[in-house]
């Protein structure tokens, strides 16, 4: 019999409290004769019918909740609980003890939906960043492949150029990383040369004093243009200079300089335009020490090679022909070990690539970049060889330029697998 008694008590009380929360009619407003809406007692806060209905519903639900809880303490407890929670629900529009927020839980559900939307947006952003990163990785792999092709092309060009002897005859293929030997003049009988004494003014050949020489000329085809002229010191008989027409077009295109009978420098006009475009120097051991080339015939030297202990150790290139070196390649023991590049052509190196030899071939092992232009690397990439191709394995980044790694990324088969961020100010990336 308790539940009917509680219901009989609760329902009238609920109606009373609900009616108490409904705004009373304005005594100034005429009866139902007028169809005009009643004046707003508070122009700044017009009543919201939906909000009033929400408060009435909350009051009823709260009274029922209070009656059920209060019934544990008898009939009086049920009445007190119904009245107390009913007033609370009517005032706040919230039903206590139902696990929802104010207004019946709409705010909480809205907040959860906003969180889900925000999470989806972050996921979309991260996916977009991953797509961009994969695109950057692909571009880097293409750059590495192009770099290796360029180095290989340079080697082939150098091999072809070095295989030409001073006579213009092509010899057998040689190692392009090996220092070439100075070409030797052909052993020809003296009877085929025409001899004539000559005085060489100071500075004419870069000499620091006047020279008295004997010029021995060879004009084999008798066209009046010698194919070769050899100059000997009149006193010692030692050769001091040799001029050669390598392509037999009637113009001298190769100049060989000697010191005590040993070749020390060679200058060449390789394209026949009458201007020197290649400069070679040789050591006392007869091996090339350096070589400089103007490959596009613009008057500016754009390729430089340095040799040591019989091997190429460094080459420098000016790809833009603007007088600035934008690529340097280093070798050790005739193996490619490192390259430096100025990719944005601002006059400072910004990319360093390190190589390892795998199966007799040079492969990219590590790349360092300067992404903020301060001259120091801040991004470090490690590569592994998969299916014969370099594949990104790890990337470390110093995002804020403090010299410490802020982002550590691990890749598997070239795809991002794990990322660790040590600087919380960088999240989300």
Structure tokens at 12: 């009238």
* Chain segment 36-48, per-residue pLDDT in tens: 444 444 545 555 5
Instruction: Please indicate, yes or no, whether residues 150 and 95 belong to a single structural domain of this protein.
Output: no
Structure tokens at 100: 């929802």
Give dist(CA 425, CA 429) in Å, integer: 9
Burial class (CB in 10 A: 0-12, 13-18, 19+), 163: middle
In sequence order, what are the beta bridge partners of 126? none
Reported pTM: 0.65
Domain range for 61: 1-21+48-100
Q: C-alpha 411: how far from its chain's center?
A: 16
What separation in angstroms does the CA of 278 have from each of 180, 199, 335, 336, 416?
Answer: 15, 27, 25, 24, 48
What pLDDT score was predicted for residue 4? Answer: 41
Q: Give the chain's domain count.
A: 2
Instruction: Please indicate, yes or no, whether residues 421 and 357 belong to a single structural domain of this protein.
Output: yes
Instruction: Please indicate, yes or no, whether residues 14 and 96 belong to a single structural domain of this protein.
Output: yes
- Kindly write down the DSSP assignment for every residue of 76-107, as one continuous string: HHHHHHHHHHHHHHHHHS--TTSS--TTTTHH
* 30 in a structural domain: no
Radius of gyration of the chain (CA): 46
What pLDDT score was predicted for residue 330? Answer: 98
In sequence order, what are the beta bridge partners of 170? 164
Give dist(CA 159, CA 17) in Å, integer: 102
Give dist(CA 276, CA 297) in Å, integer: 9
* 254 in a structural domain: no
Instruction: Please indicate, yes or no, whether residues 343 and 408 belong to a single structural domain of this protein.
Output: yes
Instruction: Please indicate, yes or no, whether residues 304 and 412 belong to a single structural domain of this protein.
Output: yes
Give the domain CATH number at 354. 3.90.930
Last residue of a domain, one of 100, 118, 135: 100
pLDDT over 80 (residue 426): no
pLDDT over 70 (residue 421): yes
pLDDT over 60 (residue 192): yes
* 390 in a structural domain: yes
* 367 in a structural domain: yes
Contact (CB, 8 A) for 216 and 229: yes
Instruction: Please indicate, yes or no, whether residues 13 and 156 belong to a single structural domain of this protein.
Output: no
- Dihedral pair phi/psi, residue 263, rounded to 5°: -65, 125
Instruction: Please indicate, yes or no, whether residues 86 and 149 belong to a single structural domain of this protein.
Output: no
pLDDT over 60 (residue 179): yes
Instruction: Please indicate, yes or no, whether residues 324 and 175 belong to a single structural domain of this protein.
Output: yes
**Strands annotated E in 17-152:** none
141 compared with 371, residue with greater pLDDT = 371
Q: Within 265-385, where are the H helices? A: none
SS3 assignment for 369-415: ECCCCCCCCCEEEEEEEECCEEEEEEEEECCCCCCCCCEEEEEECCE
What pLDDT score was predicted for residue 148? Answer: 77
Confidence label for 229 from pLDDT (cuts 50, 70 and 90) = very high
Instruction: Please indicate, yes or no, whether residues 298 and 167 belong to a single structural domain of this protein.
Output: yes
pLDDT over 70 (residue 167): no
Last residue of a domain, one of 70, 100, 130: 100
* 403 in a structural domain: yes
Instruction: Please indicate, yes or no, whether residues 86 and 166 belong to a single structural domain of this protein.
Output: no
Q: What is the mean pLDDT of residues 221-232?
A: 94
Give dist(CA 332, CA 177) in Å, integer: 10
Q: Closest by alpha carbon to 82, among 96, 97, 98, 67?
A: 67
Q: What is the mean pLDDT of residues 90-106?
A: 58
Structure tokens at 351: 């990319």
**Strands annotated E in 309-388:** 311-317, 327-332, 335-341, 351-358, 361-369, 379-386
Instruction: Please indicate, yes or no, whether residues 296 and 397 belong to a single structural domain of this protein.
Output: yes
Please name the residue that has the structure tokens 């629900």.
Answer: 89
* 255 in a structural domain: no
pLDDT over 80 (residue 418): yes
What pLDDT score was predicted for residue 125? Answer: 72
**Of the ranges 52-61, 133-142, 370-379, which is most confident?**
370-379
* 249 in a structural domain: no
Give dist(CA 136, CA 381) in Å, integer: 12
What pLDDT score was predicted for residue 389? Answer: 86
Instruction: Please indicate, yes or no, whether residues 317 and 377 belong to a single structural domain of this protein.
Output: yes
pLDDT over 90 (residue 342): yes
pLDDT over 90 (residue 205): yes
What pLDDT score was predicted for residue 108? Answer: 57
The H or E element containing residue 195 is strand 194-200
What pLDDT score was predicted for residue 35? Answer: 41
352 compared with 144, residue with greater pLDDT = 352
Give dist(CA 143, CA 390) in Å, integer: 12
* 187 in a structural domain: no
């Amino acid at each position: 019999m308790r539940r009917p008694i509680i219901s009989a008590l609760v329902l009238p009380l609920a109606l009373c409290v609900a009616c108490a929360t409904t705004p009373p009619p304005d005594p100034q407003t005429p009866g139902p004769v007028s169809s005009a809406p009643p004046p707003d007692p508070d122009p700044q806060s017009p009543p919201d019918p939906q909000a009033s209905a929400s408060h009435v519903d909350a009051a009823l639900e709260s009274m029922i909740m209070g009656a059920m809880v209060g019934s544990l303490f008898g009939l009086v407890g049920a009445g007190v609980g119904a009245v107390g929670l009913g007033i609370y629900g009517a005032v706040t529009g919230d039903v206590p003890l139902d696990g929802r927020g104010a207004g019946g839980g709409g705010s909480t559900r809205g907040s959860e939906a906003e969180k889900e939307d925000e999470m989806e947006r972050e996921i979309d952003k991260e996916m977009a960043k991953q797509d961009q990163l994969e695109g950057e990785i692909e571009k880097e792999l293409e750059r590495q492949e192009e770099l290796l092709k360029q180095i290989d092309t340079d080697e082939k060009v150098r091999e072809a150029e070095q295989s030409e002897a001073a006579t213009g005859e092509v010899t057998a293929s040689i190692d392009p990383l090996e220092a070439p030997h100075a070409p030797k003049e052909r052993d020809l009988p003296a009877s085929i040369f025409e001899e004539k004494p000559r005085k060489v003014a100071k500075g004419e050949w870069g000499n620091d004093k006047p020279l008295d020489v004997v010029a021995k000329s060879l004009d084999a085809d008798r066209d009046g243009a010698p194919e070769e002229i050899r100059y000997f010191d009149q006193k010692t008989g030692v050769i001091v200079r040799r001029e050669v027409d390598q392509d037999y077009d009637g113009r001298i295109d190769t100049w060989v300089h000697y010191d005590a009978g040993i070749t020390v420098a060679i200058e060449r006009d390789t394209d026949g335009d009458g201007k020197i475009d290649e400069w070679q120097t040789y050591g006392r051991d007869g091996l090339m020490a350096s070589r400089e080339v103007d490959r596009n015939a613009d008057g500016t030297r754009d390729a430089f090679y340095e040799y040591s202990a019989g091997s190429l150790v460094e080459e420098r290139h000016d790809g833009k022909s603007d007088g600035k070196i934008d690529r340097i390649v280093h070798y050790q023991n005739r193996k490619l070990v490192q390259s430096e590049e100025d990719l944005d052509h601002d006059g400072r190196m910004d990319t360093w690539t390190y190589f390892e030899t795998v199966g007799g071939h040079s492969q990219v092992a590590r790349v360092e970049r300067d992404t903020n232009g301060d001259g120091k690397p801040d991004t470090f990439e490690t590569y592994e060889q998969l299916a014969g191709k370099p594949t990104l394995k790890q990337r470390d980044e110093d995002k804020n330029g403090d010299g410490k790694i802020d982002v550590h990324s691990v890749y598997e088969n070239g795809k991002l697998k794990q990322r660790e961020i040590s600087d919380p100010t960088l999240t989300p990336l």
